[in-house]
Structure 1
């Protein structure tokens, strides 16, 4: 299966926190030797946020390498490798059987790591910006764009602007 897929949006679900916690417990033994930290990211990690109903888990490793044993364990947990999926410095796995989950694997404290946490924390503490972002996502879907790659491309400018604001906020 390719990276592109039909997407949908959902109102916030309290169960997303529990899904993250349950999946983290399954993943911790897989990454025990190399993970520094796990984090719930993406719109499902922002209370009240409209989101694709896919829980995003960021895994920070000591070094960016997935060995054969780790890959086999992830496949056994029903993940499929998507490689970098267009983002150098990140390895992407996804699960689409049962609960939908994305794994974003990167080097802990890298720019990718820091930007994802900064973006999440900014939206968590700035509800007006979170609402504007949610509306931009709804508008994109309403315009007829309903595949992942086009949807992601369409909202990339909004994300870049919000990340710029988040960086300014973080300097305070």
Structure 2
């Protein structure tokens, strides 16, 4: 990535290659820790067909409980991932790559199957997959916010929080 682009919020139209990139990263994770984990889920905007997104894949590595977390953390560190803590989100442990790989940019999280972070990621993704009108509205909002907050990722994330929270409220009222 061009150094000048590092601080720029960039939202682009959906790219079907994101699914392929996710599958490549998933294969690496399964190869590393498949016997310890329940699954690897493609979450976030790149997981929703037709949704404009920042070209960064969000991945949840799902574990049965925090009991298995130390072993998963050790395995991931063996292939170049560093644990960053939960970064303020309950039920989600973030990891960053310590070396360059051949994949497009991605965020990797390890989550217990009943953790709040994971459950919200999955329910939000699945709601969008089932509601094309929400995909359209969210994509338009993200494009507008990316222009408005072009050099401020924090403001961009905060500005779209209301939309996300409203969808999560709808989901909770349906259950």
Q: TM-score, normalised by structure 2?
A: 0.82
Give the length in aligned residue pairs: 164
What is the aligned partner in structure 2 of residue 16 from structure 1?
18
Query: Gapped runs of 5+ residues in structure 2?
Result: 1-5
SS at match of 2:85: coil
Contact 2:92/2:111 (8 A) holds in 1: yes
What is the aligned partner in structure 1 of residue 160 from structure 2?
155
RMSD of aligned Cα (Å): 2.2
What is the aligned partner in structure 2 of residue 56 from structure 1?
58
Query: Gapped runs of 5+ residues in structure 1?
Result: none
What is the aligned partner in structure 1 of residue 75 from structure 2?
70
Q: 2:116 aligns with which of 106, 111, 117?
A: 111
Distance 1:58 1:5, change over 3 A: farther
Partners of 2:48 and 2:39 in 1: CA distance: 19
What is the aligned partner in structure 2 of residue 101 from structure 1?
106
Q: 1:44 aligns with which of 43, 46, 50?
A: 46
Higher fraction of helix = 2
Contact 1:10/1:53 (8 A) holds in 2: yes
What is the aligned partner in structure 1 of residue 169 from structure 2?
164
Partners of 2:31 and 2:91 in 1: CA distance: 23
Shift of 1:109: 3.0
**2:19 equivalent to 1:35:** no
What is the aligned partner in structure 2 of residue 129 from structure 1?
134
Q: TM-score, normalised by structure 1?
A: 0.84
Contact 2:90/2:117 (8 A) holds in 1: no
